[in-house]
Amino acid sequence: MKISQFWDDAIVPALVDYIRIPAKSPHFDNAWSKNGYIEAAVELAAGWCRKNAVPGMKLEVVRLENRTPVLLIEVPAFQTSSTRTVLMYGHLDKQPEMVGWREGYGPWIPRLEDGKLYGRGGADDGYAVFCSLAALRALREAKRPHARTVILIECCEESGSYDLPAYLNALEPRIEVPDIVIGLDSGCGNYEQLWGTTSLRGLINGVLTVEVLTEGVHSGDASGVVASSFRVARVLLERIDAADSGIVKHSAFHAQIPPERAAQAERAAEVLGEEIWRKFPFVPGMQPMQADLADLVLNRTWRPFLAVTGADGLPPPASAGNVLRPKTALVLSLRLPPTVNAESAARQLKAILEADPPYGARVSFSAGQSATGWHAPQTTMWLERAVDAASNAHFGKPAMWMGEGGTIPFMAMLGAKYPNAQFLITGVLGPHSNAHGPNEFLHIDYAKRLTACVADVLAAHAGNT
């Protein structure tokens, strides 16, 4: 069966069922084990893979104690004498609901419209397991070769993959040492060609708490005597980035941008044009942070930027009185360049924020997640050619390479664990697909072509080794 037909007949219906499951990552569902949604998502995927198995395939849902499960699929080599291993990666856990879904749409409401499948987790990253097996099935049917392939699907990615190291260790004898890793949890600059991800940014988050009083007091009585905890927080944040430009000040959070990545950013900017910023749902009149398009590409891939993603100690507007509040807590999210070590950056961030608190306020920064980014090793000639040929064959346009702004903690770990492996990190998170936000969708035509490209790259790999 052709890949496109197989997607329509077998994959889309499975994804529709998958979207209905609120399989929120443990970080967003403390009771995930009791709630059983992650289990349901894994069982759905496992059942589908069993039903659509290729000959010789071994499938197991591996469950280490007190950890999210992992779906492990081993597929023997086909029509090749290559003894090497391909590792394909994806995840089934999801981001939480988020607000702002259009009327009639919702995170757990699958809706197929205009070639897009709306709902949480379809694109990030439920499609990956189906895409992986579909690519292998297509090769088998066409009697084209592929090397031994291990598909590893975790359920902890949106929580920083903290369960994964234990599985990688436990499963080492079965995974063996892959010489290529195909990761299907990344983005694409447009839906018109194949995109390979060359880097990912790192991330530190945590909660900055500023306490100035033991209880709230009349602001008319106290302002001018007691500093506002919000203003103290502003002073502290100004130590990290400049409020007027957003530029992060401290060198500890910056990295040298490699010249070849700067050159690729120029090419990506030419291909993407203003779509680089127009893909975001700006309010009318709002402009991007910089005019130069290549700079915008580098900003979101190789430069650090700070965002405040949550707050506490602030009542909603309708219940806010004229009170000098006792404290302000802000959730900080600092994206880091690919090559900056996140743990040492987190220590620096804490030290910078907690040093010399204004007015002796009680200031603390409690670090949450810290994840180092990832920078791809030099792509070998065969892979570069295979990726380009696949893109030309299935999209009619050459492949593009670009960094991504997000973080996949797993990648830094794999990069360190398999230093000699090649990486094809790609995905369906293109313009407006809005993973993590409202109205997330999977662009089905793109996913079909991507599946065909993955199959071609697997065949080229088998032929090359």
Question: SS3 for 421?
Answer: coil
In the complex, which residues of this chain contact Zn ion (CB under 5 A)? 124-125, 185
Q: State how far the Cα of 5 lies from the Cα of 309, in Å rounded to an integer.
A: 41
* DSSP letter (8 states) at residue 429: B
Q: State how far the Cα of 23 lies from the Cα of 94, in Å rounded to an integer.
A: 6
How far CA 253 is from CA of 211, 301, 334, 371, 373, in Å, comes to 26, 13, 9, 13, 12
* 306-312 long-range contacts, CB within 8 A, separation 24+: 306/237, 306/240, 306/241, 306/246, 306/248, 306/332, 306/333, 306/334, 306/335, 307/332, 307/333, 307/334, 307/335, 308/237, 308/332, 308/333, 309/205, 309/333, 312/207
- Helix then strand then coil, in percent of the chain rounded to 5, is 40, 25, 35
How far CA 358 is from CA of 47, 233, 361, in Å, comes to 58, 9, 6
Question: CB of 364 within 8 A of CB of 232?
Answer: no
Q: State how far the Cα of 364 lies from the Cα of 209, in Å rounded to an integer.
A: 5
Q: Quote the least distance from Cβ 417 to Zn ion, whole Å.
A: 19
Tokens 């680089």, residue located:
276
Question: CB of 45 within 8 A of CB of 37?
Answer: no
* 41-46 long-range contacts, CB within 8 A, separation 24+: 41/92, 41/93, 41/94, 41/126, 41/155, 42/69, 42/71, 42/92, 42/153, 42/155, 44/14, 44/17, 44/18, 45/14, 45/18, 45/71, 45/92, 45/126, 45/129, 45/130, 45/153, 46/71
Nearer to Zn ion, 72 or 123 (CB): 123
Sheet containing 305-312: give its strands across: 305-312, 327-336, 202-211, 362-371
Question: CB of 217 within 8 A of CB of 374?
Answer: no
DSSP 2-56: -HHHHIIIIIHHHHHHHHHS--B-GGG-TTHHHH-HHHHHHHHHHHHHHHTPPTT
